[in-house]
Amino acid sequence: MPLKIRVKPEGKILAGGAVLKNVGNRPADLLVLSDSPVLREDYMMNIERRDESDFSNVYFLLQVIYLFKGKDKPMDSFVIQTIKSFAQLYPNFESDTNQIIVHLEANESFKALKIAHSMLARHEKSAQATPKPVPQSVGPTYQLEKASAI
């Protein structure tokens, strides 16, 4: 089934392994005629961001599953087990992770990615709202002096 996608000016999409950029100053409408994975720029995560949090790790894993769908079926059970472990660590997101698993089992990897995208956004929003604790000294602090050469 063809997919119609609108790309903002200077916006990027990933389609079938290629990154495309709208170099015009107006939105561009594209029609993807093949069954290829397509991601808008706001859904793309670079590998450098992967280790920012457990949420970004899960998101990156699902992004890879979506982009390379059907190429590594033996990994499916590993991915589902990873998502289940994540749900145990973050019980507040158990409903979302259960939906992700349902979509993965139904070979609907983009739907799973969309749920992970909203989970990541909610996590990042709450992380920004929560002030980071300032480490406090428990006992006396000592400074090491440089040994001078004799």
Does residue 149 surpass a pLDDT of 80?
A: no
* Domain residue limits, the chain: 1-44, 47-128
Using one digit for the tens of pLDDT, what is the confidence trace for 28-67?
998 888 888 889 888 888 888 888 899 999 999 999 888 8
> By C-alpha distance, which of 44, 61, 66, 52 is closest to 110?
66
Mean pLDDT of the chain: 83
Does residue 100 surpass a pLDDT of 90?
A: yes
Q: pLDDT-derived band of residue 74, with 50, 70 and 90 as boundaries?
A: low
Backbone angles phi, psi at 92, to 5 degrees: -65, -20
Does residue 93 surpass a pLDDT of 70?
A: yes
> By C-alpha distance, which of 53, 65, 54, 68 is closest to 17?
68
pLDDT at 87: 93
pLDDT at 73: 64
